[in-house]
Structure 1
Amino acid sequence: MAIQLRDPVHGFVRLDQEEVKLLDTPAIQRLRRIRQLAMANLVYPGALHTRFDHSIGVAHVASQMARELELDEHEEVKLVRLAGLLHDVGHGPFSHVSEKALDTYADRSKLKGAKKAEKIHELISAQIIQNDRDIVRLLGEERCRQIVVLLSQGHGQPAMKSIVSGPLDADKQDYLLRDSLFCGVKYGVFDIHQMHRSLTIEGPKNEKQLMIKQDGIHAVEQYVLAKYYLTTNVYRHKVRLITDEMIVRAIMLGIEKDEISGLKKLYSYDGTDGFVRNYCTWDDARFLQKFCVTAKAGRCQAMLARLLHRRLLKRIFDARANEFPAEIRDRLKSLVEPDSRPLRERAEREIAKALSKLTATPIDSDEVIVNIFSIRSVRETSRNDEAGILVTGQEPKPFDQVSTLFASINEQYTDEYVEVYAPMEWSTDTDKDRLRREARKPILRLIETAFQEKAKGGKA
């Protein structure tokens, strides 16, 4: 029996009997307990929406796009809807935060062939879709295989791939609108209906691809700006960055310092079905209960307790890359690479010493985090992420060449940012400003020194 759900973003969303049964499988019900934006609710109280909600939205948007393109209702529309429902089934606790831990602790030596280079959470998704008994029993082995191919490599005509995974895919469209709504901001809003009306499939018979008509250019411009503003104002909000980094640090401390076997087992992906079965028993609530609420005192437990009670690390330092000497600026990005971890840890130890001296209070280097991230300009975003969008005409052209808005924007750069989070305390804005001001020069000098020693071949 088909049902209709009232979705806060898209209104009534219709689901057929098979889709309802798919949603009721334990693998997808688990997504109800994994928040879309991890602990962003500590700064945006309404950000309590989940991967489950988002998956329903993606299926709905995917079917709207497919029907606008007049794809076959029985086979193609159905397949992109199922792919939408299943696309996030491999997410772990706290969504994308788990990806960092999986990439760090996965045992890639046990993976075969091309799998060694693939994203771990995508491998987990594929295993769940093809091996989960309830999902396979409901959809059949062949359709499960088709969904995995569609989510990873594309299936059939390129239009289907574009709907599920592309610059204008249903995933991005839904999360922009959904995250914007639940965070209570207007940055992610764009005219989704006009954008869908402008979709078309053109090209030679065997090379047809998704394009937009001329009357959809402004809707796509809105979409690109929505991505940019939501990134700068929500995804890169300082509290969001701090909470994400605190979770990652807690996992690292739990595995490497506290030697918590259950935590290591959760993130040491080895490609086996046993790993996936265990992985599918975890969600946000169980993670916090097991490793914080009922856990023995330890470094991991202490960091998670800070998060649970909102005693967050503070941003004591922030700088743009252009504030560093040129020879250091070019190497900043490398600090996020795994092989630069000893260098980063040394910088954190030295910064902890400097802050301890400044505040006359012992500060543990395990609670000092150096975070480096980038924000691309809106022009750079349009030239990269949306480069694959073609606009129809006598000769199809890339979107960024046709858009008069982006042609008028000259900025073409990616800004690198360096931030330092530490367990600082201040009672007034005056105290905060004083501490940040006094800490700035020592931290700048320590980061510069670390890179200069690396350039000379010194050990971290």
Structure 2
Amino acid sequence: MVTVKDTVHDHIEIDGVAADLLDTPAVQRLRHVKQLGTVQLVYPSANHTRFEHSLGVCHLASRALDHLGIDGVQADRIEAAAMLHDVGHGPFSHNLESLTHRLTGKYHDDVDELLASGAVGSVLRDHDLDPQRIAGLVAGDGTYGQLVSGELDVDRMDYLVRDAYHTGVPYGTIDTERFVRELTFTTLADGAAGEASEAAPSAGFDDRIEAGPTLVLDEGNVQTAESLLLARALMNPVVYTHPVARISKAMLRRAASDLLAATATTASELRRMDDHDFLAAIRDCPATADLSRRYDERDLYKRAVWAEYGDVPDRVHDANHEERVALEREIAAAAGVDREHVILDVPAEPTMRESTARVTVNGQVRRLERQSPLVSALRTAQRNQWRLGVYAPEPATDRVGRAAADVLGLDPDALVTEVRRAMPTTLDEF
């Protein structure tokens, strides 16, 4: 057994297959991948890593297994998946994932080949565990995959409290002990009549009720589920999508793309780098040296455009990667600047996966979105917080902003007002 003193969960005890996985290269690599990527440029203490997060997820999984009465080989599988759930992350966590997925077809939870080979595969087989089955749990497959990757997963429970602790932002604080004590599995068919009688769900969510055991919160825990929803919604604008974090992430994505274009580095190799490997690579590459210097010195691009969701035409929302690159080139040409000095940042459509978590109410299993009046308000807030960004070096922001408004079909007067209203007023907002 290994005992670890953790900043969030105090003393964590790890044994069995999870303890044997701890010192494999794939898990130890996570010591060098920051949990929050570039958020440290906003909150200096946000230097925690995917490694300590993995320990926390494994701990919460073990607590949930004890509560649910799951033991033996099934418990071993879940604890192994919890320990390994982040080994597929590339440098700076999710930041480069859109690029590597476009070129490799793999997301961070596509880990079949990582678990089947090397030290991880050997440890799993030594414990009579099938690597492919563990990879399925990491991806959220099957009944027990919901514990590792789902609407009520232990991954979410750990990262919210851990991110809140290390940033000093209190909004992510949730009662993880209550969450794991109130989890239960139920067959949704038992609650189908109650759920079907509710109003239709929000657009974009499937109304079908799947058969088989599903992870839910037990009776009397609507507010517990709401706390998870609120924590995520409140952390989003002040931590996860803070403007400085978004700009720096966009600059690193551009540097990664330029690195692949200018060197023999492949997307698969990029995916297996850690943060230090990646920063060293872009420092050494002439095509990315300026972006690297700017990141190192926190000499970041500034917002030339900061536009609300409803002000952005559908053609921009729907543009694919190649179309967005073409728009960047058009904006740069119109502004009379080099193409590399314009970055178009179009976030994904707002989603709220936590709202589909299921809770038990009067003996019936219901989606949280149907039971809680908070969901509609938080969806509206999420849409209102969405911003399209166009970034450029400070001397060129006015020219780039005017050109971007023209090329993208935006109202320039509204954009100037919005950027001024959103200007930073405190050090941590700078």
Name the larger-Rg structure: 1
RMSD of Structure 2 on Structure 1 (CA): 2.7
1:176 maps onto 2:149 in alignment: no
Runs (4+) of structure 1 moved beyond 6 Å?
A: 407-410
> Equivalents in 2 of 1:413, 1:29: separation in Å?
36
Q: Distance in 2 between matches of 1:94 and 1:55?
A: 15
Residue 283 (structure 1) shift: 1.3
- Out of 268, 280, 288, the residue aligned to residue 279 of structure 2 is 288
Q: CA deviation at 1:412?
A: 8.2
What residue number does 1:260 align with? Answer: 263
Are 2:402 and 1:402 equivalent residues in the alignment? no
Per-residue CA distance 1:142-191 (angstroms, 9 max, x = gap) = 43222112223624xx2x12101110111111111111111110111112
Q: Distance in 1 between matches of 2:377 and 2:303?
A: 35
Task: Please show how residues 212-231 of structure 1 align to structure 2 within 5 Å.
Answer: 212-231=217-236
Query: Which residues in structure 2 correspond to 1:233-312 (within 5 Å)?
Result: 233-256=238-261, 259-261=262-264, 263=265, 265=266, 267=267, 269=268, 280=272, 282-292=273-283, 295=284, 298-312=286-300
Judge conservation of contact 1:389–1:399 (CA < 8 Å) in 2.
Answer: yes
Distance in 1 (alpha carbons) for counterparts of 2:392 and 2:296? 17
The letter of the residue matching 1:239 is V
1:16-57, Cα deviation, whole Å (9 max, x unpaired): 154333111111111101111112111110111111111111
Q: Secondary structure at the match of 2:13?
A: strand
| CA distance 1:217–1:390, shift in 2 (3 Å) | closer
Q: Deviations over 1:411-432 (max 9, x none)?
A: 4873552211111159xxxxxx
Q: Distance in 1 between matches of 2:368 and 2:148?
A: 20
Aligned length, in residue pairs? 387
3-state SS of the aligned residue for 2:305? strand
Once the 2 structures are TM-superposed, how far is the Cα of residue 122 of structure 1 from its aligned partner?
A: 3.0
**Offset of 1:350 from its aligned partner?**
3.5
* TM-score normalised over the length of structure 2: 0.82
Compute the displacement of 1:375 (Å).
6.9
* Runs of at least 5 residues in structure 2 that lack an aligned partner in the other structure: 191-210, 411-430
Alpha-carbon separation, structure 2, partners of 1:209 and 1:18: 26
**1:313 paired to 2:301:** yes
Is 1:149 matched up with 2:136?
A: yes
- Helix, strand or coil at the partner of 1:168: coil
2:338 aligned with 1:364, yes or no? yes
Helix, strand or coil for the counterpart of 1:201?
strand
2:121 paired with 1:136: yes
SS state of the match for residue 44, structure 2? Answer: coil
Q: Judging changes above 3 Å, is the alpha-carbon distance between structure 1 residues 104 and 367 closer, same or farther for their aligned structure 2 residues? A: farther
TM-score by length of 1: 0.77
Q: Which AA in structure 2 matches 1:151?
A: V
Q: Give distance in 2, aligned partners of 1:93 and 1:339.
A: 23
Q: Which sections of structure 1, spanning at least 5 residues, go unmatched?
A: 107-117, 270-274, 354-362, 427-434, 450-460
Question: Any residues of structure 2 matched to 1:17-416 within 5 Å, and which?
Answer: 18-71=17-70, 73-106=71-104, 119-123=106-110, 125-132=111-118, 134-140=119-125, 142-152=129-139, 154-155=141-142, 158=143, 160-203=144-187, 207-256=212-261, 259-261=262-264, 263=265, 265=266, 267=267, 269=268, 280=272, 282-292=273-283, 295=284, 298-324=286-312, 329-335=313-319, 337-350=320-333, 352-353=335-336, 363-373=337-347, 376=350, 381=352, 384-406=353-375, 411=380, 414-415=383-384, 416=386
Identity of aligned residues (%): 28
Residues in 2 aligned to 1:404 and 1:440: alpha-carbon distance in whole angstroms: 39
Distance in 2 of aligned mates of 1:410 and 1:28: 36
